[in-house]
C-alpha cells in the first residue's frame, strides 16, 4: 500500500512540497521557501525549521553560482590540480592565454604546461605542499599550444576538503612577460644613464679643464702672435675632442628616447 493511499491528500501534498523544498536547498537554492499554513500543525513546525535552516545556510555559505562567477571572472590563470598533480579544471583565462581547449588539459599531467625540464621543480613543490602545508611561490614558464614559453609568477596552495583525502591544489598564475620586459628595459636604461654620467664626469672634465688652462695662456701683451696662434690651435683640437664626446652623449641619450617612443 502506497503512502499516497494511506494519507489525506492535503497532508500528502504537503509532504511532497517539503521534499521538493529539501531538494531545492540541497541543490544550492537557499532562497526557496514554503509558507506555513493557518493550521500551525507539526508539518508547519517542520517547514518553519527547514526555512530557518535555509536562511542559516544562505548566511554562512557562498552560493555555487557566485563561486562560478568569481572563478570565471578571475583575470589571472587559475588551475585546480588533483593531489596527483593532474589537471582537474582550468578557468577561461588559461584556455585563452595559452591556446588550449578544456579537453586538451583536463586529466592531463600539470607538467604538460611546463615541459620535461620542470619535473624536479614539481617534485619539490609537491614535497613542500604535503610536508609543510604552505604556499609555494615561484616563476615558471608555461608552454602555449604553439610551444612558446611564457613566464608566469605562480602560486601553489592546498585546498583541503572535509577530510584529508579530499585535497586539491590551487594554482594561480600571472603573466609577467611584460613586467620582465619592462624590468630588462629599465636595467638597460639604468646602465646607459650610468655610462652617460660617467662620460660627463670623466671624459668631459678633461677637455673642459684643458680649455680653461689654454685660455689662461693667451696674453696679447706678453706673447708673440705665433705663441698665441699655437695656443688657439691647441684649443681648437681640444674643442674638437669635446665635440666628439658631446656627440657620444647625445647619441646615447637619443637612443633612450627612441626606445621609450617605440613603446608608446
Output the pLDDT for position 166. Answer: 58
Is the pLDDT assigned to residue 75 strictly greater than 70?
Answer: no
Q: From CA 147, how far away is CA 2, in angstroms rounded?
A: 64
Output the pLDDT for position 164. Answer: 52
Q: From CA 177, how far away is CA 151, in angstroms rounded?
A: 6
Q: From CA 111, how far away is CA 113, in angstroms rounded?
A: 5
Output the pLDDT for position 210. Answer: 78
Contact 136, 128 (CB under 8 A): yes
- Phi, psi for residue 8 in degrees, rounded to 5: -60, 145
Output the pLDDT for position 101. Answer: 92
Enter the pTM of the model. 0.49
Is the pLDDT assigned to residue 262 strictly greater than 70?
Answer: no
- The mean-pLDDT minimum among 15-29, 59-73, 193-207 falls in 59-73
Is the pLDDT assigned to residue 100 strictly greater than 90?
Answer: yes
Residue of 5 and 156 predicted with greater confidence:
156
Which strand ranges, in their side-by-side order, compose the sheet holding 149-160? Answer: 87-90, 77-81, 167-175, 149-160, 136-143
When the pLDDT of each residue in the chain is averaged and rounded to a whole number, the result is 77
Percent of the chain exceeding pLDDT 70 equals: 80
Q: From CA 70, how far away is CA 261, in angstroms rounded?
A: 38
Grid cell, residue 197, equals 654620467
Contact 220, 227 (CB under 8 A): no
Residue of 42 and 170 predicted with greater confidence:
170
Grid cell, residue 35, equals 509558507
Amino acid at each position: 500500500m502506497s503512502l499516497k493511499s494511506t494519507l489525506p491528500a492535503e497532508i500528502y501534498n504537503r509532504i511532497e512540497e517539503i521534499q521538493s523544498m529539501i531538494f531545492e536547498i540541497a541543490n544550492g537554492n537557499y532562497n526557496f521557501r514554503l509558507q506555513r499554513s493557518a493550521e500551525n500543525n507539526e508539518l508547519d513546525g517542520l517547514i518553519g525549521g527547514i526555512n530557518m535552516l535555509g536562511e542559516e545556510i544562505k548566511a554562512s555559505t557562498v552560493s555555487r553560482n557566485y563561486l562560478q562567477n568569481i572563478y570565471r571572472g578571475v583575470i589571472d590563470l587559475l588551475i585546480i590540480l588533483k593531489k596527483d598533480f593532474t589537471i582537474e579544471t582550468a578557468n577561461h583565462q588559461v584556455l585563452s592565454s595559452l591556446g588550449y581547449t578544456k579537453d586538451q588539459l583536463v586529466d592531463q599531467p600539470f607538467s604538460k604546461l611546463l615541459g620535461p625540464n620542470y619535473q624536479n621543480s614539481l617534485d619539490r613543490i609537491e614535497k613542500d605542499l604535503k610536508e609543510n602545508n604552505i604556499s609555494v611561490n615561484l616563476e615558471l614558464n608555461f608552454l602555449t599550444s604553439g610551444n612558446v614559453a611564457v613566464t608566469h609568477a605562480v602560486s601553489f596552495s592546498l585546498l583541503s576538503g572535509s577530510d584529508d583525502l579530499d585535497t586539491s591544489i590551487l594554482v594561480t598564475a600571472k603573466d609577467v612577460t611584460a613586467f620582465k620586459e619592462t624590468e630588462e628595459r629599465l636595467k638597460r636604461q639604468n646602465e646607459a644613464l650610468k655610462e652617460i654620467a660617467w662620460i660627463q664626469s670623466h671624459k668631459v672634465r678633461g677637455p673642459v679643464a684643458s680649455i680653461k688652462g689654454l685660455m689662461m695662456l693667451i696674453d696679447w701683451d706678453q706673447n708673440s702672435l705665433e705663441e698665441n696662434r699655437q695656443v688657439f690651435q691647441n684649443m681648437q683640437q681640444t674643442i674638437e675632442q669635446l665635440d666628439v664626446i658631446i656627440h657620444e652623449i647625445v647619441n646615447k641619450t637619443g637612443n633612450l628616447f627612441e626606445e621609450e617612443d617605440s613603446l608608446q
